């Protein structure tokens, strides 16, 4: 068994190096830059509009939070955001940020910000395409995602029918595998390890409880998942943000030094610390981008699968929720985690050397303990429990949609049962390999998705211009809502 694991580790190391090489990083950030340019910096030029129609809409527009009827299989815009954030705000915001700081130094945070800034428009574009190419299955549920805009969008180009179909299948396979890794085993393993360390709860007990809780939610389908996440996500995000803000203000005098270390580290302007694995711009850039993508998932094509279930009509309106999703995940939650660690004295801000033996969530827990005392690690353990479990719920939907695309709607119960069983396995096994595999499948998912977004980028630009002309400039132009004429008719104002 050990020999087999060693073989998988070696093969994965080779594949991971290829997947996360310079070409992939160029593809990832290049897509975001292109979409930012084509939409005329929509995330900045219309920042007031998308804030007003996302987080602002929660308080001013009843349609944003209004639940759909019992017979309507769609979910509200707010529920789609919460389910997407449930999947993105996970261990990557705690463990991922700590890993980036340890392996890439403080400069990794700068590149995480860069990925997020341009990733906002990658996520925007995915959601626009997701709504534009979505359709309903036999149960009346919306189905959308990279597999559909690859097959029907890219596949509609002359000579690209087979390429689009093949890439759609590859994306679905990689998504299915990733749902068991990033979306299940690695998350559950983090929960079990932290509950054992903080509260001495055996992993088997944690696993059994999580299996029961997950089964009660996942088997009930998307509407049950959404009803849970719309309550869980705001609570867990606000609680964590408040805790991190307490540390921020307690260490506010170190703010200048922290941001200086981040910018110097990003461009190799600091000395190399003995505690850093590797050094220089390349390590900071690579780890910042990898953990940025792991955290906010922009470019993976994952969250679009739940955004496509929204009851929204306008592709751009759902695209704006994608912008806010990345903003909340990386610019707020990840930044606060990074500041908590960097301002705690656990990392030398001059050299980037790690001055603690702790790693991952333990490093963040130690940072919180500098202000909260012995309650700090417990707070982080509870945060990881909520973050990771919500991620499992979100990814169960992504995996079921990939399964549905490959094997049909009727068989999705098989996937859900397998997914639930793997939760217990994830809690009771040593799964350091799961984290490495998660990185690999993240990259493999991103490749076909980004190809689709790039090829369909002119369409995204036209849909965005159409929205801006109609909604903001009040021009009398025909709306671009869907590739399917019957859906345009159904959603006509």
CATH number at 432 reads 1.20.1740
| Res 111: pLDDT | 86
Q: Are 192 and 428 contacting, i.e. CB atoms less than 8 angstroms apart?
A: yes
> What is the separation, in whole angstroms, between the first and last Cα of the chain?
61
Residue 474 pLDDT grade (very low, low, confident, very high; cuts 50, 70, 90): very high
Looking at residues 375-396, what average pLDDT do you find? 86
Residue 67 Cα distances to 38, 83, 308, 374, angstroms = 34, 14, 16, 41
Is residue 486 one of the residues assigned to a domain? Answer: yes
| Res 282: pLDDT | 63
Is residue 12 one of the residues assigned to a domain? Answer: no
d(CA 39, CA 118): 12
Which tokens sit at 266?
Answer: 């990003």
pLDDT in tens, 431-441: 566 666 666 77
Looking at residues 357-363, what average pLDDT do you find? 73
Q: Are 392 and 188 contacting, i.e. CB atoms less than 8 angstroms apart?
A: yes
Which tokens sit at 262?
Answer: 């981040």
pLDDT at residue 18 is higher than 80: no
What is the total count of domains within the chain? 1
Is residue 8 one of the residues assigned to a domain? Answer: no
Place of tokens 């050299």: 351
Looking at residues 211-216, what average pLDDT do you find? 93
pLDDT at residue 279 is higher than 60: no
pLDDT at residue 187 is higher than 70: yes
Classify residue 478 as exposed, middle or buried by CB count within 10 Å of its CB (0-12, 13-18, 19+). exposed
Q: Considering the chain, what is the average pLDDT of its residues?
A: 83
d(CA 449, CA 179): 16
d(CA 233, CA 115): 23
Q: Are 315 and 463 contacting, i.e. CB atoms less than 8 angstroms apart?
A: yes
Is residue 10 one of the residues assigned to a domain? Answer: no
| Res 468: pLDDT | 95
For residue 90, what are the domain limits? Answer: 17-490
Q: Are 304 and 130 contacting, i.e. CB atoms less than 8 angstroms apart?
A: yes
| Res 66: pLDDT | 67
* CA angle (311 as vertex; 309, 314 as ends), nearest 5: 100
pLDDT at residue 12 is higher than 70: no
pLDDT at residue 289 is higher than 70: no
Residue 117 Cα distances to 35, 72, 121, angstroms = 11, 35, 8
| Res 11: pLDDT | 67
Is residue 128 one of the residues assigned to a domain? Answer: yes
* Percentage, residues of the chain above pLDDT 90: 30
Is residue 143 one of the residues assigned to a domain? Answer: yes
Looking at residues 372-393, what average pLDDT do you find? 85
* CA angle (136 as vertex; 175, 62 as ends), nearest 5: 95
Is residue 422 one of the residues assigned to a domain? Answer: yes
| Res 275: pLDDT | 40
| Res 19: pLDDT | 65
Q: Select the more confidently predicted residue: 462 or 233.
A: 462
Helix (H) or strand (E) holding 143: strand 142-143
| Res 272: pLDDT | 43
| Res 347: pLDDT | 83
| Res 276: pLDDT | 40
Looking at residues 360-378, what average pLDDT do you find? 84
pLDDT at residue 430 is higher than 80: no
Residue 138 pLDDT grade (very low, low, confident, very high; cuts 50, 70, 90): confident
- This prediction has a pTM of 0.87
Is residue 11 one of the residues assigned to a domain? Answer: no
Secondary structure letter of residue 320 according to DSSP? H
d(CA 186, CA 429): 10
């Amino acid at each position: 068994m050990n020999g087999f694991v060693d073989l998988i580790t070696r093969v994965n190391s080779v594949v991971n190096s290829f997947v996360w090489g310079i070409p992939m990083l160029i593809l990832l950030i290049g897509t975001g830059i292109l979409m930012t340019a084509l939409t005329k910096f929509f995330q900045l030029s219309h920042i007031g509009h998308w804030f007003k129609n996302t987080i602002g809409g929660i308080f001013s527009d009843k349609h944003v939070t209004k639940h759909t009827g019992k017979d309507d299989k769609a979910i509200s815009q707010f529920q789609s955001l919460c389910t997407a954030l449930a999947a993105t705000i996970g261990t990557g915001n705690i463990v991922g940020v700590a890993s980036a700081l340890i392996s890439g130094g403080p400069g990794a945070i700068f590149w995480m910000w860069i990925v997020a800034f341009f990733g906002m428009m990658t996520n925007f574009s995915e959601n626009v395409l997701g709504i534009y190419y979505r359709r309903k299955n036999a149960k009346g549920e919306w189905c959308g995602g990279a597999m559909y805009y690859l097959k029907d969008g890219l596949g509609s180009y002359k000579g690209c029918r087979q390429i689009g179909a093949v890439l759609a299948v590859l994306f679905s396979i990689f998504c299915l595998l990733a749902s068991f890794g990033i979306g299940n085993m690695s998350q559950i393993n983090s929960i079990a390890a932290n509950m054992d360390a903080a509260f001495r709860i055996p992993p088997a007990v944690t696993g059994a409880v999580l299996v029961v809780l997950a089964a009660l939610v996942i088997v009930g389908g998307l509407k049950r998942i959404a009803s849970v996440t719309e309550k869980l996500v705001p609570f867990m995000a606000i609680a964590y943000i408040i805790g991190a803000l307490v540390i921020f203000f307690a260490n506010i005098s170190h703010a200048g030094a922290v941001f200086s270390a981040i910018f110097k580290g990003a461009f190799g302007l600091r000395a190399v610390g003995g505690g850093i694995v590797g050094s220089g711009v390349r390590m900071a850039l690579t780890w910042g981008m990898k953990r940025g993508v792991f955290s906010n998932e922009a470019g993976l094509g994952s969250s679009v699968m739940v955004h496509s279930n929204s009851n929204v009509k306008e592709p751009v309106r759902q695209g704006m929720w994608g912008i806010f999703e990345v903003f909340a995940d990386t610019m707020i939650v990840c930044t606060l985690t990074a500041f908590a660690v960097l301002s705690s004295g656990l990392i030398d801000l001059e050299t980037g050397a790690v001055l603690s033996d702790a790693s991952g969530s333990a490093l963040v827990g130690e940072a919180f303990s500098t202000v909260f005392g012995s309650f700090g690690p417990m707070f982080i353990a509870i945060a990881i429990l909520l973050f990771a479990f919500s991620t499992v719920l979100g990814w169960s939907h992504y995996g079921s949609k990939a399964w549905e695309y490959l094997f049909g709607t009727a068989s999705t119960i098989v996937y859900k049962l397998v997914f639930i069983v793997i939760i217990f396995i994830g809690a009771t096994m040593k799964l350091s390999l799961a984290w490495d595999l998660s990185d690999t499948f993240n990259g493999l998912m991103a490749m076909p998705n980004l190809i689709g977004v790039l090829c369909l980028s002119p369409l995204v630009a036209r849909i965005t211009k159409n929205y801006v002309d109609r909604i903001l400039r009040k021009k009398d132009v025909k709306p671009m809502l869907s590739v399917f004429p019957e859906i345009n008719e159904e959603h006509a104002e």
